[in-house]
Each structure stands twice: as structure tokens, then as C-alpha cells.
Amino acid sequence: MKIYFKIILISFAMLFSASLKAQHKIGLVIHGGAGNISRENLGPEAEKAYRHKLQEALQAGWNILENGGSSIDAVTEAIQILEESPLFNAGRGAVLTHDGKNELDASVMNGRTGQAGAVAGVSTIKSPILAAKAVMENSPHVMLSGRGVEQFAKEQGLEIVDSSYFFDKRRLEQLKKFRKTEEDRKKEEGSLQYIPGNPLLLNPDQKFGTVGAVALDKDGNLAAGTSTGGMLNKQFGRIGDSPVIGAGTYANNATCAVSATGHGEFFIRNVVAYDISALMEYRNLSVKEASYEVIMTKLQKKGGEGGVIAMDRNGNIAMPFNTTGMFRGFIQKNNEPQVSVFP
């Protein structure tokens, strides 16, 4: 009798632990860029369109997580939807370089394996985030750039498009406006000095529209990804923080997953995404404390504008930004997508 009782008890314990495992919290956070965004300069129609697209991306990534998919797949799915929308500075509708071209950067990182993939300066790969994922999964490298990555993408069977696919007229207007201001200042001041952090590199409405996502899947694995057109009027093959692992993107199951948006030069110099993880690892800070310390204190002191989304392995999230707004949203168990733009 006693032995039967023991068997029943053990079976119950096994069932209980299995159900606990299956119930691992899942979560998804996304952003569509930080910047000088106010209700007045955005307008109600545009705000509605942004909110709608962010919700769509959240829902698509969430469906993957809910059906047992991986955090990597959820992150890349959500980002792909934002890349396809001309609203954001990623994929279609990305900002233009000084020469009027689109040069796109993206990266992704798997918090379980510590593997990462990135592409920089691409102009014919339809989805830079999928190319970054292919680099991570199917190449011995972490970061590929320029023509080489386009060759690699073809071999991987990724969709290749004419570079005009990314072009958006509004971006041309934006570039013209920017170049005009630049010319006017050159006339006034003689020459323009590009010093680190010079706001001249910022676009006229100072809106970074990079997109990113972080996710936690049912197996407790974190992932992060970021995709961007970089910064308006960038020159000489400039690469920002978005494809730089540790600066614009980072994921580690032991700490957190991070995706950044903002003035890339500052994010690179301050290794922002990794710094948040390091503060959690070495100083035992929570994801909220670590990300607020980096964005609101360390980065702000140096004049670096932008924000991050971050999530820890328990699904706790943080979305600090030191600009007036950041397009962002999250979705967690039993919740509808929550989207916001302003503080």
C-alpha cells in the first residue's frame, strides 16, 4: 500500500513540475525608434498609423511565441513587419545617405547560445534582419558587409530586390531639407566641423526610426534583434550601432536581451546594450535599474540621445528613453498588445 502511495505522489510531483515548465512566462517587446516626437509634430493620423503597425508586429511575434516558437523567430517576424512598413527607418522607407542611397544594417543575437549575426551597408536584400539571422545560423562569421553579404544572401535563397524598393519620396524631401541647412551653415560659418556627437548628423526632425525587438520564449530563451537605415545624410559607408553586437543589440539568457535606438556613435562608444547586461551580471541590478542607469544617467551625461527596450529571463521589461518619445510596445501573457509613443 505504502509503495502505491509513493508512486502516486511521485507521479503528481512529475506532472506538477512538467506543467510548471510548460508555463514558462513568454514575452515580447518592440520599438520603432526614439526621438524628438511630440503629439503636435506627429499628428493624430500618423500616431494612429504607427500604433496600428506596432500592434500588428507585436501580434505576429506573439503568435509565434504562443505556438511554442523560438524567441529568435518571434523577434525576426516582428522586425520583418516593421521593415516592410515605410513608417519606420528600416527596410522600405529607410533614411537616405548623403548620396541619396539606402544602406541598411541589422543584427540578431541568441541569448541561449550566445551566437550572433549582423549585416552592414546592404542595399538589395529585402529583409536585412533575415540576412542577419542567416549569418548567425549558416555562416562561421558574425558580421558581413557590402557586396559580400549580398552574395551570401543570394546563396541562402533570401529575397533580393532592386535598391529602389527601399526608396520613399518623403525621405528624399527630408534629405534635401537637411542638405540645404548644411549648405546654409557652410556659407555662414565657412566650413563645417564634424566632431563626435555633432548634431549636424541628426535628421531635421530628430527622429530615429530604427526598429527592434526582444523576446522570451517558452523554453526561457531570450533573443534580441535590431534593423535600421542608419542616420540621415550618413557618409563614407558609415555604420551605426544597430549591427554592432554589444552596442545596439545584445542577448544573454543569464541577464537580459536589449535592442537600442538613438544616435549610434554614442551607443557604440558606450557599448550600451552590453553595459546593461554587465550591470545586471556584476552589480546584480534589475533589468529596470540597469537600463535606466545606462540610458538616463550614463548616456545622457555624455549627450547621447536615444533609448532601449530590454527584458530579463523572468519576462520583466524596461523601455527607458531620454528623448521626448519612443515608439514602443509589449505583449505578455493574457494581455492585449500595449503600445505607446510618449512618456
Catalogue the active-site residues.
210
Q: Half-sphere exposure (CA, 13 Å, Cβ side) for 173?
A: 5
Q: Report how far residue 169's alpha carbon sits from residue 167's, in angstroms, rounded to the nearest whole number.
A: 7
CB of 266 to ligand ASP, least distance (A): 9
Contact status: 242 vs ligand ASP (CB under 6 A):
yes
Beta-bridged to residue 226, according to DSSP, are 107, 212
- Nearer to ligand ASP (CB atom), residue 88 or residue 152: 88
Asked if 33 touches ligand ASP (CB under 6 A), the answer is yes
Of the candidate spans 3-11, 120-128, 178-186, 257-265, the one that interacts with ligand ASP by CB under 6 A turns out to be 257-265
H helix or E strand, kind and range, residue 262: strand 256-262
* 93, 262, 304, 337: residue in contact with ligand ASP (rule CB under 6 A): 262
Cα angle at 245 between 133 and 331, to 5 degrees?
65
Is 249 a binder of ligand ASP (CB under 6 A)?
Answer: no
- Using CA atoms, how far apart are residues 75 and 122, in angstroms rounded to an integer? 20
Decide if residue 264 touches ligand ASP (CB under 6 A). Answer: yes
Tell me whether residue 70 or residue 89 sits nearer to ligand ASP (CB atom): 89
Question: 217 — phi, psi (to 5°)?
Answer: -100, 180
Q: What's the CA gap between 279 and 277, in Å, rounded? A: 6
CA atoms within 13 A on the CB side of 6: 3
Report residue 210 as a C-alpha cell.
530604427
Nearer to ligand ASP, 70 or 324 (CB): 324
Q: Is 210 in the site for ligand ASP (CB under 6 A)?
A: yes
Which residues ranging from 222 to 241 are in contact with ligand ASP (CB under 6 A)?
228, 230-231, 240-241
CA angle 295/259/281 to nearest 5° reads 70
CB of 95 to ligand ASP, least distance (A): 8
Query: Of 70, 71, 76, 89, which one interacts with ligand ASP (CB under 6 A)?
Result: 89
Residues lying near ligand ASP in the complex (CB under 6 A) are found at 33, 89, 208-210, 228, 230-231, 240-242, 248, 261-262, 264
